[in-house]
Structures are given as structure tokens and as C-alpha cells.
Amino acid sequence: MKAIHFGAGNIGRGFIGKLLADADATLTFADVNQPLIDQLDHQQSYQVNVVGENSKVERVNNVRAVHSNSPDAVRHISEADVITTAVGPQILEKIANTLAKGLIERHAQGNQSPLNIIACENMVRGTSQLKQHVMRLIPQNLHLWVEEHVGFVDSAVDRIVPPGDAANDDPLSVTVETFSEWIVDGTQFKGTTPDINGMETTTNLMAYVERKLFTLNTGHAITAYLGKLAGHQTIRDAICDPLVRQVVKGAMEESGAVLIQRYGFDPVQHAAYIEKILSRFENPYLRDDVERVGRQPLRKLSAGDRLIKPLLGTLEFGLPHNNLVKGIAAAMCYRNQHDPQALTLVSLLDEKGVEGALMSVSELTDSNIVAEIAQAYRVIQTSLAA
């Protein structure tokens, strides 16, 4: 199996790239960071430190690397069996041009073998969005060929991979938690589903996409925002604060009630899932700064993301949402001079006031819920000023 993975950062190397390598794929990373590319292509291996309940050190070998915009990347696409990404939601559109060139080259070579593309991003149906970007760049006369031979497979991914200081003898070393989950839409593959241990197929992907979004992502973000307000530096420090933990767990229970209503998840099993997430946040071996997790607050406060979407679910089903409201208010309070989105948020608050800024960012239209969040925001601001 030939695989090319876009995004050679910590997540790419420590999660998806590692699973591909473990599946004995001939693996090539594609990235725009030339020093990183050169180091990977020189070493052709790197160390993965798996920390948590079953800590261990593993090594990924026989990997290569190319620049994402190079002819080499196009050639690899034309020959690949699997293409994966871990570049970030905002970068998918930027790699679409290379993917389109690779598919055009693949057609020109007469390669009829099935190809499956899987975007492993922290977003809902990221591969479907990537497909839209790619198809706009493919000549109309090749659209039918692409539909017949290329599977665009949506996925849900979950593994905490914080930035870490690499060891001096291995600048590519990466640290990951023990837990990982990679669930893909089994109905979207072309040809035989790749045999990759750690990749699970489902016919109901949205249930698992929202389970992860409403639990891990919701809890992670609220932990970061409340933790920063409380003066904590790391996610572990924040979640070990009883006041923070109470709100975070309450918010995940509120979002979980939505999932149980919408998808029929077992309440007992979902409660255990929440406890598992909380224990992951407590992992003493993972140093994850609240500022890193809280960055890009405008994206996290958007209508389809981890804070507003579960809140809308509680309104849909008439469920409690007091802790979610506190978490959203805390996100509105996020301040970081080095984060462009945080600076934009402050400008919006100054220009439009709390209610106006919130409605602009989140697209909330329910005046009652907007008023609830605004009141919670003002309570936080008053306590900060005291």
C-alpha cells in the first residue's frame, strides 16, 4: 500500500502517519516546512513516545518526505493507494491544487486503481469539503472518472498530541497519549477498504463526529477558557481545579444529553466516555497549555463548532444548558495578544457590545440565549475587575 500524508507536524507523525506506517504502508509525508521535510528525508525515521496508562516508546521507520507543492508530491498522488491529511481545517483548500494536479496526472497515466482520500481534521465532514475544493480545479470532462475511481472518505479522529520539546538526538520525536480513535465512513470507499489497524469503519459517522465534537472538543475548550481565567497554565492544572472541573463535566453532560436524544447513545456508556475524557485531560505526562487549546476563539465560537452546536442541540430538545452557557461566556473572555482571532474578538466586543459580537460570531438568533450568555460574560468580567 502506497500512502502519502499531508501534514508532517506532531499530529501527522504521532497519529495518522504512525498508523499508516504500522500498517506497512510505503509512507511519504508532504509538508511546506522545508527544514522539517529535509530532516524527515534525512532521518527517514522518528520516535513516538506514547504516554499514559501503558507508556512505551515506538519508532516509525522507512518514511520519506516531499514538499506539498512539488512535482514529487504530484507524482506520489498519481501512484498512491491512500492519501490522508492532518493540516488543519483552514489549510485543506491550499492543498487542493496539488491534489487536483495529482489526480489529473493519475488519469493521464491511465491509473485505474482505486484511490481513497481521508482528511483527518478536527472538523465535521472535512473530506467532503476537501472534495469540493478539489473538484473545482478538475476539468469537467474528468469529473466522472474521479467519481468512479477516487473515494473521498469522511472521518472522525481523536488523539491528544500536544506540542513538545524534541530530544536533542531526535528533533522529530513526538509525544502522544495512549488513547486514539480514527473512525471512517465505510460507505465512501472505492475498492477494498484499506487494512489499517486503528482505523474503524461505520455507517453512521455523524454520530461519532458529534460525540467527539460535543465531548472531547467541548470539554477541552471549556477547560482551556475557564483554566486561563483561573490563572492555570496547563489543561491538567485546570481540570484538577474542582470549580473548573464541575463546569466542564456539567457541560459535557449537557451536550451528552443531546447526543443521547439525537443518536440513541446508551446513557451509562456515554457517562463512562465522559469520565474517560476527563481522565485524559488529567494525564500528567501531557503538558498542554491552555493558551494553545484556547486559540482561535472565533472558530470555536462559530455556529457549527464545539460550543455553539451542542448549545443549539439543547435548545432543539429543550434540555438544560447552564454549564455550556458558562463555557461560551468564558470563551468570549479569552484574551491573547499573540492570537489574531482573540484580538479580533476584542475589537468586535468594543464595536458591537457583548450581544452584537456574540450574534456576529456565533450566528445565534435566539434573544433569550444570547441574553443568558451576555449575563454570564458580565458576571465573569465583574469578578475579574474585583
12 appears as a binding residue in the annotation: yes
Read off the C-alpha cell for 57.
516508546
Residue 255 amino acid letter: S
14 appears as a binding residue in the annotation: yes
67 appears as a binding residue in the annotation: no
Angle ∠(278,271,214) on CA atoms, nearest 5? 70
What CA–CA distance (Å, rounded) separates 22 from 138? Answer: 33
Residue 175 amino acid letter: T
- What are the Cα distances from residue 161, in Å, to 22, 112, 263, 299? 18, 36, 28, 20
User: For residue 234, what are the β-bridge partners?
Assistant: 289
Other CB atoms within 10 A of residue 292 CB: 15
328 appears as a binding residue in the annotation: no
Angle ∠(373,374,377) on CA atoms, nearest 5? 85
DSSP 193: P
10 appears as a binding residue in the annotation: yes
DSSP 166: P
Q: Per-residue DSSP letters for 234-295? A: BHHHHHTSHHHHHHHHHHHHHHHHHHHHHH---HHHHHHHHHHHHHHHT-TT---BHHHHH-
167 appears as a binding residue in the annotation: no
Q: Which residues contact 71 (CB under 8 A, 6 or more apart)?
A: none
4 appears as a binding residue in the annotation: yes
8 appears as a binding residue in the annotation: yes
250 appears as a binding residue in the annotation: no
C-beta contacts of 258-263 below 8 A and 24+ residues apart:
258/214, 258/310, 258/313, 258/314, 258/316, 258/317, 258/319, 259/207, 259/210, 259/211, 259/214, 259/215, 259/313, 261/313, 261/317, 261/319, 262/207, 262/210, 262/313, 262/317, 263/204, 263/207, 263/210, 263/211
77 appears as a binding residue in the annotation: no
Residue 286 amino acid letter: L
User: For residue 47, what are the β-bridge partners?
Assistant: 59
User: For residue 6, what are the β-bridge partners?
Assistant: 30, 85
Q: Which residues contact 251 (CB under 8 A, 6 or more apart)?
A: 218, 219, 222, 310, 323, 324, 326, 327
Annotated binding-site members = 3-14
Q: Which residues are annotated as a binding site for NAD(+)?
A: 3-14
